Amino acid sequence: MAVTTSSPPGRLNGFLYRPEVRQAIYQVLLLAAAAYVAYWVVNNVADNLRRQNVASGFDFLGRTAGFDVSQSLIAYSNASTYGRAFWVGLLNTLLVAALGIVAATVLGFIVGIARLSSNWLVARLATAYVEIVRNLPLLLQLFFWYFAVLKNLPAPRQSHVLPGGAFLNVRGLYLPAPVPQPGFAAVAIAVGLSLLLMAGLWAWSWRRQHLTGQRFPVLGPALLILVALPLAVFFAAGSPLSLSYPELRGFNFQGGIAVQPELMALLLGLSIYTASFIAEIVRAGILGVPKGQTEAAQALGLSNAQTLRLVVIPQALRIIIPPLTSQYLNLTKNSSLAVAIGYPDFVSVFTGTVLNQTGQAVEVILMTMGVFLALSLATSVFMNWFNRRMALVER
């Protein structure tokens, strides 16, 4: 019986059979396909814009906006430009993100620690909060706080009177507004100087502990610096600050600072919702610390509060910080739901009103994507830096 043998593959076939060569070919083909799809999309968009007589570019940012915004942290009117409206919406989003992150972090740490409490009632209440809040849609919670709670507050004439000259009604929360007087610049400089001194004290304390292993009680001196120096300058300058209290005039309050119900509802919804996830992250981080660390701290005579603050939390942070970053990013992106309750955030002002008026869909969408990408990257960079500083082992 004849036996047939296959001829050895040629040099070219042998070259193509090498795994690294095949991988390179696949990557080139994939890159070419992606480039073709991108070329097709760009051409298709350009053709559609030409058919609709829509001029591309960012010249529209210099045109008059012609609409008002209910809340603005900078000067704005309907005679301002679309570029000004961009900054108004961006600052409103940054305000919500910053306040929401602080509130959610504080509340999340409190609830996460409470879940591990030896008090049965406290632990069960914290568990109920987490399980209920995180399993309800965020949009539904925003509707609850806005329509069911804040919209049912009394009219301005029947406002709830709060301590310190504040009032709460259906139109918002009215607080006394600080009014700087001549000489207040010196107080502001003193506050900045005290913050620099605090930062220097913290850095020196950390370096001292790193080199010698000895802790310096930095909290008390830091608070003393923060309070004593500005107060001394404040009284030396003749108390150059007064308060403008809100007063009921006609059908509404005048003066002071008005916090809109839309902002309050958004902050409450975002903070309470995100805090339920942060609480679970904190609980997992604390449980991730070996039990022997707690026992060793108690053997040294530390109280439960000292053990938690000085031993457990610093070690748990290496577990808490990475997933905590994701929650901060989610809170910032979830602020775009503000459009559902009428708060003028970036998406509502720029992607909504400006897009509808100008028709510059491509430019507006690209700018919106760029803004949220920049915010997310900035948050990630800061949290990664903080995570490296809190690591137990230097890298």
Q: Quick check: is 111 in a domain?
A: yes
Q: Structure tokens of 394?
A: 């230097």
C-alpha 390, offset from chain centre: 20
- In the chain, the number of structural domains is 1
- The verdict on residue 89 lying in a domain is yes
- The residue count of the chain comes to 395
Q: Residue 290's domain spans which residues?
A: 76-153+270-345+374-395
Residue 206 belongs to some domain of the structure: no
The span from the CA of 196 to the CA of 161, in Å, is: 38
Task: Give the pLDDT confidence score for residue 395 in this predicted structure.
Answer: 45
One-letter amino acid for residue 8 of the chain: P
Residue 22: predicted pLDDT: 74
pLDDT of residue 144: 95
Residue 319 lies in a domain: yes
Q: Contact, 368 vs 347, CB < 8 A? A: yes
Q: Does 338 reside within a domain?
A: yes
Residue written as tokens 């053709």? 47
User: Which pLDDT value is given to residue 54?
Assistant: 62
CA angle at 381 for the pair 392 and 289, rounded to the nearest 5°: 25
Q: Are 285 and 215 spatial neighbours (Cβ–Cβ below 8 Å)?
A: no
Angle at 222 between CA 220 and CA 226, to 5 degrees: 115
Residue 103 lies in a domain: yes
Average pLDDT, the chain: 86
Which pLDDT score, from 0 to 100, does residue 7 have? 46
CB-based contact 256:244 (threshold 8 Å): yes
For residue 393, count other CB atoms closer than 10 A to its CB: 5
Tell me how far apart the 2 most distant CA atoms of the chain are, in Å: 115
Beta carbons of 170 and 150 less than 8 angstroms apart: yes
The CATH number of residue 288's host domain is: 1.10.3720.10
Q: What is the pTM of this model?
A: 0.82
Of the candidates 224, 223, 205, 225, which has an alpha carbon nearest to the alpha carbon of residue 215?
Answer: 205
Is the residue at 279 inside a domain? Answer: yes
Asked whether residue 91 is assigned to any structural domain, the reply reads yes
Q: Which amino acid is at 308?
A: L
In this prediction, residue 10 carries a pLDDT of 54
Q: Which residues in the chain land under pLDDT 50?
A: 1, 6-7, 394-395
